[in-house]
Structure 1
Amino acid sequence: MRSPSAGPRLLLRRLREVMAEPIAAQERLDKIVVLIAANMVAEVCSVYLLRADGVLELFSTEGLNRAAVHHTGLKVGEGLVGLIAASAQPLNLADAQSHPAFAYKPETGEEIYNSFLGVPILRAGRMLGVLVVQNQAHRTYSDEEIEALQTTSMVIAEMVAAGEIELAPKQGSGLDLRRPMHLTGLALADGVGLGHVVLHEPRVVVTNLIAEDAGHELARLHLALERLRLSLDDMLERREVARDGEHRDVLEAYAMFARDRGWARKMEEAIRNGLTAEAAAEKVQSDTRAQMLRSTDPYLRERLHDLDDLANRLMRELVGRAGEQFATLPRDAVLVARNMGAAELLDYERDRLRGLVLEEGNPTSHITIVAKALGIPVVGQVATVVSLAEAGDAIIVDGESGDVHLRPPPDIENAFADRVRFRARRQAGYRRLRNKPSVTKDGTAIALHLNAGLLVDMPQLEESGAAGVGLFRTELLFMVAARLPRVSEQEELYRQVLEAVGDRPINFRSLDIGGDKLLPYLRSVEEENPALGWRAIRLGLDRPALLRTQIRALLKAAAGRELRLMFPMVTMVKEYRAARALVDREIRHLRRHGHPIAETLRYGVMIEVPSLLFELDELLEEVDFVSVGSNDLFQFMTATDRGNTRVSSRYDPVSVPFLRALRLIVEKAEALHVPVSLCGEMAGQPLTAMVLIALGFRTISMPPASIGPVKEMVRSLDLGRLRARLLPRLEPGCWSGDLRAFLKAYAEENGIPV
């Protein structure tokens, strides 16, 4: 009697023989369905493949009407085949025609067949099609038969993806997996990048699918699993992760997954059915990923990245590539990843990176913040891009529109190359403005500062011609570190930053962490509204040791010079007083122990919370300067989550209510002779920067790439004339039109480049 696994193994060997034959693609596929039908003792075997237009086209059949091939199609969700594609689950029916989803296609002649078994054809969790067997007799297929068909479908998926079956569907249905693709996502960081795909977690390409010796493959799997488990145990023993925290919880979850017997059993079963160990690992992960992607359980979907990482680690163990470092990057690398940490991005050579594409990511994520600081275009929320892209594919990233062109045709590539050259010419023009004064046509000087957060940002002061650093985000050092930076490490970084700045002013913002800026080595709390939660100055006052450590490092680094320190997300003046009391305590401590500290200290506050507008008089009596954080202030004033794509573009900061609030801040600060600046997205766009200058801001801070375009606007602006046209429109009852449209028209009429 034949063992349950003998059939699949025999089938896989015969499939390999067919693949070696020098025959046409359609003939090869036709031979494959005949082999499957014979092995499964089925009267029908059919392969449906998913076209680019979402239709599952019948590509080959044994048993149904051959004339229906390339003419019969079902949409995803339509009929039994469409149901399998939608659910990514096998379907086993003794009486198919009684199923409510059954869709009769008369041209196929399938009305005489009753039993039905269909399985999805998956690769890396991506749906490629459906493989079906049918019989006239009413029967339920066994678990062994289901597993055999799933194993075979995995082999077909790899053959299609690898181009071993070059399917050419009729009427240009466009199944070709290597075709040009236009994907859309969320623009996260400005810029355009042309280059070639580098997968952040490159998939191990399985070249040997069919096992010669199941016992040998099982031994390989068990050895690789043991090495994987040991490597995770070693990671848990390392000093930097030995303490409790969220990072340790993640690693312990990894270790738990690695010891899951259910995961191992599924791979063992796939090996017994004829696959190699790495093919079995890929098959099980592909099945799991497809099912979890369709789950509505948020916990399961969050675990998907963990399981993907674990499967990738196991695959690398199996092929002897565990722990390998990044290969040398091409000169025009575009990273493609599901997601990645800020520190991981810094592992790559910056001068070779042209862009970043993420399946996840949002405007306030760590990776976005760091990529912006490095001037790397980023598009996020590009569904399934990791599965669609292959290492070395040509790719274009448009960080302005959120478009990604994978394997672009020559005309698209040429158009974007022209656009990049045009941007380069414009940047060359901006560089010529670098040493020219930032003064309006009617003589008003505007200080253009840049936003920074890492030492690598500092050379851009000279390159851009910025007058100083309006916002130094100190939390970036913490976000890219594997553990809490020591006082000495912080002090050294701040000292190097101050030396790089020279005589220019620089405003250090104290730690703005918490909320959506989580540090892996600090235990966080679950919050329904993190933007409104335990973050920034709130966290610093509740964890004074964390804030005092940073203040001590800053005071020592600034020895003999001025230190400008501002506190984020202050809601009431008493919070500012509490933070200043911590600074006073550190000053006394350092002086008592004979440490040289900053010669002068200027205190500032970020105006980001609307409640502070009603304590402006009291605040301005106590601080040395203020800086408006326009992103958060606008978010809180309009109750708009800027990480939520449904509402983030609903309201315009160039609107009467918000501009009135900004004008109020400027007027109050001027009246009390307190310097006021603004940092945020408004400052970095010529049109909105023009509005800020009209409102009275004389110092604005922006990303380095924005300095040139904004300076060009400033030097073309007659400020007095603009104020005369704009300010009356902000008075109560004076105007109700579209302010942005008015400003665009004004700029065009007056030759102001915005």
Structure 2
Amino acid sequence: MTRGSRNLLRQIREAMADGGPAQDRLDTVVRTIARSMVAEVCSIYLRRASGELELFATEGLNREAVHNTRLRPGEGLVGEVARTAEPISLSDAPAHPSFSYRPETGEDPYHAFLGAPLLRGGRAIGVLVVQNRAERHYDPDEIEDIQTIAMVLAETVASGELLGQEELRDVEVAPHRPERLKGQRFAEGLAFGHVVLHEAPLAPEQLLADDPVLEEARLQSALHALKAGIDAMLEAGPTGLSGTPFEVLETYRMFADDRGWNRSLEEAVRSGLTAEAAVDRVRNEHRARFAKARDPYIRERLHDFEDLANRLLRVLAGDKPGERELPEDAILVARNLGPADLLEYPRERLKAVLLEEGSAASHAGIVARALQIPCVGRLQGLRDRLSEGDLVIADGETGEAYLRPRPEMLEAVKQRIAVREQRRAEFALLRDVPAITRDGTRITLLTNAGLAVDLESLDDTGSEGIGLFRTEFQFMVSEELPRLEAQTLLYRRVLDAAGDRPVTFRTLDIGGDKVLPYLDAEREENPALGRRAIRLGLDRPSLLRLQLRALLHAAAGRELRVMFPMIATVEEFRAAREMVDVECDWARRRGRTLPSMLRVGAMIEAPSLLFHLDALLPLTDFVSVGTNDLLQYMYAADRTNPLVSDRYDPLSPPALRALQEIQARCAETGTPVSVCGELAGRPLEAFALITLGFTRLSAPAGGVGPVKRMVLSVDLPAARRGMTNLLGSSAGSVRNEVESLARKLNVAV
């Protein structure tokens, strides 16, 4: 930014500091910008709560249009700037297809157009526009200048410095009325408390630098301190997945060295901003850019930069990053979280998590379920609707969030929580009670796991073992392939924690939306149906063999259960099992101790196996039904996509018939079978499963107690008679009928 441009920012700051009426200050700001940028028009539009963009101030257009001209969301070039959250520069605006003519503004003679979004938290809360009569091209410096000015205006508008609360009442920057947001359930539960903003952004007290050279030195010093702090944590060595994961810290360290990120920060400081304002600006630009990315891996990388930016701001403020203190009733609010973020907060004070983004299959969702913390995600606009300390309700049962709830709503939630606590106490009493139905059928209840912290729930829930241990988590949080020693250490810790209880290790289920940055992967049009899970393992045998070697070494002298995911053909299972035999031979030749018992199984997730069970089952020691993927592939509907995830019901005749077929074929061959999908952890769905004949269920830790209570109340012969009639239904769903059957039989669902 030139000296003249820095003077412009100084003039704007002085105009904002004046104590006159808000409209007068806005008028001064647009006059100052127009004069400095040699523009015949300068206008400021702000987004109303309705989503419309209202003309708040102008120099050059008709003054009568101020507060009268409103553009619908996405309307005109101004709406396009707000929609894309990026600047637009045009030499002949009226010729652009998005141009919208508003006669009351008198903008007929103006051709050149340059607009920049006022970004607040990665979302456009307004638009700054300059225009000229002549058809001209705005140069890169002018585009850079208007972005910096827009960033300054966004902060001052949102903070109330430029406009008072009366003017801001209907502007969508910081609402204070009660609101209800509908999202998606990531982790079940119910809680209320006060908002704690995850790594709450520190608003820069000073935006403009008095000494750019000094500010650049401050930035470099803070970056050095940030990296040194991460290095100091890394020197402690791998701490296991129950704390801040060693591999995640390595990921942070790598991104701290990212050239693009560092260069953007340096350029922002050199443009005349303070170090804090530069970090804030780069963070907003990253949010806007990454939010539009279609690649899920690229979107996930935003979390790393978000965390680094917040840590850097804390360093600049003189704080030392570490475990944050929380109030007794903290509800953590964030746009998204990485797996380490949650683990850094004291669990006993963290009541719930609310996220703008993410998915139930994300790391944050997995960790929240493991910690039994209610988590609701996909809450659009959440962060900008809340302030630190606001009272909120997180409803992990319905997938909703209530912001600043009314007293009657809060009272109703308290009553629901009391009922849940009573049920939790009942579940605790059932911990050591065998899961046996009223007619004497024994049901084995296991838990799903993927973190070391999950192992703590084995004793608490009375689980009989781990029916599914997801091994990919260790790989996904690392920026390089975990070595043999690291893999062996983790698997041994899991077996030690389980004691004499069985553990089923699922080999790497990566690919699709789970990308490993250290593995070169070709871009696939449909990665969910591409080279993932066992396909990737077979294509890269060294990767799979290394994991099998670690598993065999960790289980020396003990039982080992290995399960291969996403088997679609019998040939795939044969090839995978041959790799197990090769690794056993390798260990035997070197005098290594092998597991005392080795069982190898397959996950039934691909619908193709439904028609080849007669060939597959004799080759396996056991199978497990992954209902999550099996059903989404049956219905061609992504369960993590809110647009289609509700297009099918697991309690539908086709789904139930498929599950019944699997159970029947396993019974004929004597093949042990379990269900390890989410259905196994929901009492009503689990009721349907055991009536179909499944006697081995693996559920999230929080589902063991509710499912056990259901099992103890069931008379299976009567339930099976009722379910047989429902399987022949022509309806798209029989959920209501299954629920009616359960209630008729007094089943606790």
Matched, 1:209 2:212: no
Residue 694 of structure 1, CA deviation? 1.0
Offset from partner CA, 1:72-108 (integer Å, 9 cap, x none): 43323445654543455667899989988354464x7
| Equivalent residues of 1:34, 1:45 under 8 A apart | yes
Equivalent of residue 748 in structure 2, options 741, 750, 753: 753
Residue 277 of structure 1, CA deviation? 4.6
CA–CA distance in structure 2, aligned partners of residues 112 and 544 of structure 1: 67
CA–CA distance in structure 1, aligned partners of residues 294 and 608 of structure 2: 37
| Equivalent residues of 1:334, 1:355 under 8 A apart | yes
Offset from partner CA, 1:420-474 (integer Å, 9 cap, x none): 3432332222222223332223332222221122332123122212233222223
| Equivalent residues of 1:94, 1:140 under 8 A apart | yes
CA–CA distance in structure 2, aligned partners of residues 348 and 302 of structure 1: 24
Cα 1:98–1:169 change in 2 (3 A) is farther
> Gaps spanning 5+ residues in structure 2: where?
239-249
| Equivalent residues of 1:58, 1:71 under 8 A apart | yes
Task: Please state whether the residue corresponding to 1:748 is helix, strand or coil.
Answer: helix
CA–CA distance in structure 2, aligned partners of residues 719 and 264 of structure 1: 68
Matched, 1:532 2:535: no
Offset from partner CA, 1:636-663 (integer Å, 9 cap, x none): 3333333333333212222222222222
2:663 alignment counterpart: 666
CA–CA distance in structure 2, aligned partners of residues 637 and 70 of structure 1: 53
Specify the code of the residue in structure 2 equivalent to 1:741.
Answer: N
1:448 alignment counterpart: 445
Q: CA RMSD in A?
A: 4.6
Matched, 1:190 2:188: yes
Matched, 1:422 2:414: no
1:244 alignment counterpart: none
Residue 577 of structure 1, CA deviation? 3.8
| Equivalent residues of 1:540, 1:547 under 8 A apart | yes
| Equivalent residues of 1:49, 1:128 under 8 A apart | yes
Number of equivalenced pairs: 735
2:672 alignment counterpart: 675
Percent identity reads: 48
| Equivalent residues of 1:654, 1:739 under 8 A apart | yes
Matched, 1:647 2:650: no
Matches within 5 A, 1:244-323: 255-258=258-261, 268=270, 270-271=271-272, 275-280=273-278, 282-283=280-281, 286=284, 290=288, 292=289, 305=302, 312=309, 316=313, 319=316
Matched, 1:547 2:544: yes
CA–CA distance in structure 2, aligned partners of residues 152 and 317 of structure 1: 24
Matched, 1:365 2:368: no
Specify the code of the residue in structure 1 equivalent to 2:260.
Answer: F
2:704 alignment counterpart: 707
Residue 685 of structure 1, CA deviation? 1.3
Equivalent of residue 740 in structure 1, options 729, 735, 739: 735
Moved more, 537-546 or 166-175: 166-175
Specify the code of the residue in structure 1 equivalent to 2:679.
Answer: M
Q: Considering only CA atoms, is the larger Rg found in Structure 1 or Structure 2? A: 1
1:725 alignment counterpart: 722
Cα 1:131–1:342 change in 2 (3 A) is closer
1:516 alignment counterpart: 513
CA–CA distance in structure 2, aligned partners of residues 323 and 5 of structure 1: 35
2:491 alignment counterpart: 494
Matched, 1:173 2:173: no
Residue 703 of structure 1, CA deviation? 0.8
CA–CA distance in structure 2, aligned partners of residues 229 and 491 of structure 1: 29
Offset from partner CA, 1:495-541 (integer Å, 9 cap, x none): 33333333333333333333333334444343333333333333334
Task: Please state whether the residue corresponding to 1:471 is helix, strand or coil.
Answer: strand
Residue 551 of structure 1, CA deviation? 3.4
1:602 alignment counterpart: 599
Residue 264 of structure 1, CA deviation? 5.4
| Equivalent residues of 1:289, 1:304 under 8 A apart | no
Task: Please state whether the residue corresponding to 2:119 is helix, strand or coil.
Answer: strand
Cα 1:623–1:517 change in 2 (3 A) is same
Matched, 1:716 2:719: no
Moved more, 248-257 or 433-442: 248-257
Equivalent of residue 567 in structure 2, options 551, 565, 570: 570
Matched, 1:467 2:470: no
Normalised to the residue count of structure 2, the TM-score between the two structures is 0.82
| Equivalent residues of 2:290, 2:299 under 8 A apart | no
CA–CA distance in structure 1, aligned partners of residues 229 and 116 of structure 2: 35
Cα 1:434–1:288 change in 2 (3 A) is closer
CA–CA distance in structure 2, aligned partners of residues 295 and 479 of structure 1: 23
Cα 1:68–1:233 change in 2 (3 A) is same
Specify the code of the residue in structure 2 equivalent to 1:207.
Answer: E
Cα 1:482–1:388 change in 2 (3 A) is farther
Specify the code of the residue in structure 2 equivalent to 1:162.
Answer: S
Cα 1:617–1:381 change in 2 (3 A) is same
Specify the code of the residue in structure 2 equivalent to 1:750.
Answer: L
Task: Please state whether the residue corresponding to 1:571 is helix, strand or coil.
Answer: coil
CA–CA distance in structure 2, aligned partners of residues 177 and 594 of structure 1: 67
Cα 1:163–1:578 change in 2 (3 A) is same
CA–CA distance in structure 2, aligned partners of residues 142 and 555 of structure 1: 65
CA–CA distance in structure 2, aligned partners of residues 14 and 376 of structure 1: 49
Cα 1:522–1:44 change in 2 (3 A) is closer
Cα 1:427–1:230 change in 2 (3 A) is closer
| Equivalent residues of 1:366, 1:517 under 8 A apart | no
Cα 1:301–1:393 change in 2 (3 A) is farther
Cα 1:507–1:414 change in 2 (3 A) is same
2:687 alignment counterpart: 690
Residue 702 of structure 1, CA deviation? 0.8
Cα 1:120–1:575 change in 2 (3 A) is closer
Offset from partner CA, 1:232-260 (integer Å, 9 cap, x none): 99999xx99xxxxxx99995996442575
Matches within 5 A, 1:93-172: 101-104=99-102, 106=104, 119-131=116-128, 150-169=147-166
2:504 alignment counterpart: 507
Cα 1:16–1:713 change in 2 (3 A) is same
2:245 alignment counterpart: none
Cα 1:674–1:151 change in 2 (3 A) is closer
CA–CA distance in structure 2, aligned partners of residues 459 and 226 of structure 1: 38
Specify the code of the residue in structure 2 equivalent to 1:205.
Answer: A
Residue 141 of structure 1, CA deviation? 9.9
Task: Please state whether the residue corresponding to 1:458 is helix, strand or coil.
Answer: helix
Cα 1:623–1:166 change in 2 (3 A) is same
Equivalent of residue 617 in structure 1, options 596, 614, 617: 614
| Equivalent residues of 1:121, 1:127 under 8 A apart | yes
CA–CA distance in structure 2, aligned partners of residues 79 and 586 of structure 1: 64
Offset from partner CA, 1:473-506 (integer Å, 9 cap, x none): 2333333445444444434433333333333333
Specify the code of the residue in structure 2 equivalent to 1:753.
Answer: A
> Gaps spanning 5+ residues in structure 1: where?
241-246
| Equivalent residues of 1:15, 1:32 under 8 A apart | yes
Task: Please state whether the residue corresponding to 2:645 is helix, strand or coil.
Answer: coil
| Equivalent residues of 1:453, 1:474 under 8 A apart | yes
1:628 alignment counterpart: 625
